[in-house]
Amino acid sequence: MTRPTIAVWKFASCDGCQLTILDCEDELLAIAAALDIRMFLEAGPDELLDHYDISFVEGSITTAHDAERIRDIRERSGVLITLGACATAGGIQALRNSADVKEYTSAVYARPDWIHTLATSTPISDHVKVDRQLHGCPISKHELLATIAALLAGRRPTPTRHAV
C-alpha cells in the first residue's frame, strides 16, 4: 500500500492546533511508517508537491494572499481537513469583523499603509470545499488521531458526538 502524502498548512492562528499534532508524538510514532509527511513547517518538512493526499489546515483567511494560497492548496489536496476554531469559524481574529479596518490599523500601526489585510477574518470553508472539520481551540488530540486512523483504513472519519 502506498503511504499517503500529508501536508500541514498554517494561516492566521496561534499554532495551537499544530502543537496538538506535535503533542501526539508517541501515537504518531506508532503509525509513522504509514504516513509520508512532506509539508509541515512547524515540524520541519518543507516539500512543495503538486499533490498531497491529505492536507490539514490551521488558521483563518485574513489577507488576499491567504485567499489565493488556500485555493492553490485545495487544488493540490485530495482531502482537506480544517483544524480548530480559526480554520472552522474565523477564530478570535474574527472579533475584528465588526470593526473598521482603516480605523484600527491607523490607531495600532505606525505605518498602516504597510498593512494589507481583508476587512474580515473568515473560515477556510468560505473560500474552498472542506472535506472534514475538527473543531476546538485547540483541536482534540483523540479526534485528530481517530480521523487519521479512519483515513488510513480507507474509511470516512466519523464526526464527534460530544462537545469540545
- Closest by CA position to 80, among listed 10, 130, 134: 130
Per-residue confidence (pLDDT) for residue 32, from 0 to 100: 84
Neighbours of 119 (CB within 10 A): 12
CATH 3.40.640.10 fits 5-152, yes or no: no
Which tens digits make up the pLDDT trace of 100-149?
999 999 999 999 999 999 999 999 999 999 999 999 999 999 999 999 99
Reported as a single tens digit per residue, the pLDDT across 148-161 is 999 999 998 877 66
Would you state the pLDDT for residue 164? 52
Distance CA 28, CA 55 (A): 16
Mean pLDDT of 72-91: 98
Domains of the chain by residue range: 5-152
123 within 8 A of 87, measured Cβ to Cβ = yes
Residue 14 amino acid letter: C
Give the three-state DSSP class for 46. Answer: strand
- Whose CA is closest to 17, among 81, 84, 107? 84
pLDDT at 44: 86
- pTM, rounded to two decimals: 0.92
Evaluate whether 61 touches 36 at the Cβ level (below 8 Å).
Answer: no
